[in-house]
Structure 1
Amino acid sequence: MSLRVHPVLFLSIPRLQRIVSARMRLLVLGSGAGGGVPQWNCRCPNCTQAREERDLPFSKNVFRHTQASIALREAGEPWLLVNASPDLCSQFARQAELAPPEGAMRASPLAAVALTDGQIDHATGLLFLREGTELTLVCTDPVWKSLGSSFPIVSVLRHFLPVNRLSYPAQVGSLLLEALPLRAGPAPYEAPSGESGHVVALRVTGKKSGGCVVYAPGLPEISSELADFVAGSDCLLVDGTFWSEEELAPMSRERRRSILGSHLPISGPGGTLEWLAKLPIPQKLYVHINNTNPILDPGSPPAKEVKEAGVGIAYDGMLLSLYSPHS
C-alpha cells in the first residue's frame, strides 16, 4: 500500500471511478502546538510574522497555525475527528467539507471523535460539539477517567447530549482505529499515575481504500514498538513541537522538564528527523509545531533541512487522498 498520484489522462474512466470511490481523505484542520501561532501572549519572530498575516486570505497564511487536529473519512461516510482543539469552531468554518450534510438544517458531519490524550489542547473543543444530538468518543481508560473527573468535560457535555464511549481498538464506519500507548504521564493537573494509556499514537486503516495513517502529535520516545506500529503506513504525522532544546531556555525549569518528557526534539542525534529520514513511508509530515520552532519559516535552514530529508511540514487546510493502487 502506498500514497499515489496518478495522471488522470492515463486512467480509464472505470478505473478512475474506482480510485475516487475508494480513497481515504485526510484533512489537517490545525498543525500548531498548544496556543497555536500566534500565541496570544508572545512576540517571538514567528508570532510577529503570524500577526502580520491577519488580513490575508486563509490560503495565503504561512506562519499562522491553529492547534493540532486532523479529520479522516472514506467515500460516502461521515468524518472521524482526531482530537478536538480549542480552535475547533474556526477550523470547521474554514472547511466546506465539514459543513453539515445537505438536506438537513442542523446535523453533524462527524461519526466520532478519537483522542490521542486528554490534554486541554486536544479535548477542549469537545465542548463546542454540545449542540449535536449525540457524541461518540474513542479513547483509552485513563483519558476517559480524566474527562469525567479532573477535567470533567464529559460531565458537562452530558447536560446537553448523550455521550457514548468506545475503547481502542475500535471501528468507526469502515475505519479501523488502533492505539499504541506511549511512555508519557498524565496531564499536569492530574495526580501522578503509572497507568498506561495517558498518551497514544493512533493508527487508522480504511477497509475500503486500504489507506493507513498514523498520527502521533505527542512523541516522548522512539521505541521498537513504535517502529512496528508505523511500518507499512502510507502517511505518518509526527510530533514536531520543537527543533532543539535551545527553544526551551526562556521557560521555567518545571515547564522545560514537562516538555522534554513529552516531546522529542526534531534535530540532533536521537531526534525525530534522523529517524524519519530512514523510514520508507511515502508521506511523512511534522505536525503539532510550537510557535518557537524555526521550521515554521520556510526560508530557514531548519525548514530546508527537513525538506531535504524527505519530510514535509503540515499546514492548516492540507488535504491528502490515500488509497491502495490495487483497489
Structure 2
Amino acid sequence: MKILVLGSGAGGGFPQWNCNCRQCAGQRQGELTAHARTQSSIAVSADGQAWALLNASPDIGQQLRRYPQLHPRQGLRDTPIKAVVLMDAQIDHVTGLLGMREGPCIDVYATPCVFEDLTTVFPILGVLEHYCGTRWHMLPVAGSTTSASFMIDGFASLRFTAVAIPGKAPPYSPHRRDHTVGDNIALFIEDFHEGSTLFYSPGLAHVGAEELKWMHDADCLLVDGTFWAEDEMQQAGLGRKTASDMGHLPQTGDPTRPGMVDVMAATAARRKVLIHINNSNPILDETSEQRRLLDGHGIEVAYDGMEITL
C-alpha cells in the first residue's frame, strides 16, 4: 500500500491566509523552522498507478499539480484518480470536488449523512451534475450500523472499512448539535497482498474502546493532530472554542481522559503519524519542546509530500 500526503494542515492550511499569530507570521518571515502546509487530504494506491483520494481539499488543484504520481499519463485527458472517499462533509474536506469538475464523472464514496448534507444545505453534488457529474457509492454507516467494508473498482488488493467515530458535523449541518452515526468516519484499509493495514482519521473527538480496537489492529496510524492542548485557541488569542468544542482530541490529556499521544503510545503500530495540524499547534515548529516530546514517543508529524509505503 502506498500513501501520499497531499495536504497535512487543518482548515486554512499553514500559514493561514488571514492569520498573523506567532507561528503564521514566523513562518512567513522565515523566523520559524516550519514547513508550509495545504489543507488535509491523502491519496492511497495499491500499485502506484490507480489512486483514491481520501477527502478532497480546497487546495486540490495545487496538490494535483505538485505531485507527478497524480499527473495525467495517457491521451489528451486523463487522471489516475479513480475515486474520492469522504470522511465527513466539512468544507475543508469536500470543496475540492468542485476543483475536479473538468475531469470525468467522480465516483464519490460517502455515508447517507454526508450525502444528505452535500445535496441539501451545501449542494455541491448537485452543482457538479452540471459539469462532470458524480456517482454516489453509499457507505452504509448509519443508525445501529457502525462499520461497513467495501471495495473500490481498480483496487482489487485493498479492502476499505468505514468506521463511525466520535466527532462533529460541519457548522452548516443540521446535525451539528445532534450527533448522528455517519457524520464522521475513519477508514481502516487492508492490503491483501502485503498484509499491511492503515487507520486513517484526520478528525477524531474521542478514543474509546471501539476506536482503540481498530487502532490496535493497524500497522500505521494517520490520525488527528489538530491541537496540542484543549485550550490552545484560547491561549493563542485566536478564539474561544476548545478542541472538544471543535470535535478534536488534543495531543495532551488531562486527569479525565488521555490525549492522542497517550493513545498512540499504547498501540503497537509501526508508524504513528499526526495529520490535520492547526496553525496554532506548536508541533509545527520543528525545534519546539513539543516536537522533541513526539520524537521521544516515536510519533511523526505529517508534511505535504510525505510518502509512506506499507
- From the CA coordinates, give the structure whose radius of gyration is larger: 1
Structure 2: stretches of 5+ with no match in the other structure: 140-148
* Aligned with 1:221 (options 206, 213, 224): 206
Q: Deviations over 1:192-211 (max 9, x none)?
A: 34421101111122233322
Superposed, 1:19-98 pairs within 5 Å as 24-52=1-29, 62-75=34-47, 77-98=49-70
TM-score (norm 2): 0.89
Q: Which runs of 4+ in 1 moved over 4 A?
A: none
- AA paired with 1:87? D
Match of 1:171 in 2: 151
Residues of 1 paired with 2:126 and 2:174: CA distance? Answer: 19
Match of 1:290 in 2: 278
Match of 1:21 in 2: none
**Aligned residues: percent identity?**
39
Structure 1: stretches of 5+ with no match in the other structure: 1-23, 54-60, 323-327
TM-score (norm 1): 0.84
- Are the structure 2 counterparts of residues 258 and 298 from structure 1 closer, same or farther at C-alpha, using a change threshold of 3 Å? closer
Secondary structure (helix, strand or coil) at the match of 1:93 reads: helix
Mean alpha-carbon deviation: is it higher for 283-292 or for 171-180? 171-180
Residues of 1 paired with 2:194 and 2:160: CA distance? Answer: 14
Residue-pair matches, total: 289
Residues of 1 paired with 2:167 and 2:173: CA distance? Answer: 13
Q: Compute the displacement of 1:252 (Å).
A: 4.2
Residues of 2 paired with 1:37 and 1:304: CA distance? Answer: 20
- Are the structure 2 counterparts of residues 239 and 258 from structure 1 closer, same or farther at C-alpha, using a change threshold of 3 Å? closer
Superposed, 1:149-298 pairs within 5 Å as 149-168=120-139, 169-172=149-152, 173-174=155-156, 175-192=158-175, 193-249=178-234, 250-253=237-240, 256=241, 259-269=244-254, 270-298=258-286
RMSD: 1.6
Higher helix share: 1
- AA paired with 1:314? A
Q: Deviations over 1:37-75 (max 9, x none)?
A: 01111111221233236xxxxxxx833111111000011
Residues of 1 paired with 2:46 and 2:267: CA distance? Answer: 26
Residues of 2 paired with 1:222 and 1:242: CA distance? Answer: 15
Q: Compute the displacement of 1:114 (Å).
A: 0.5
- AA paired with 2:162? A
Tell me: higher relative CO, structure 1 or 2? Use CA pairs within 8 A at least 6 residues apart: 1
The answer on whether the counterparts of 2:167 and 2:206 sit within 8 Å (CA) in structure 1 is no
The reply to whether residue 306 of structure 1 matches residue 294 of structure 2 is yes
The answer on whether the counterparts of 1:47 and 1:63 sit within 8 Å (CA) in structure 2 is no
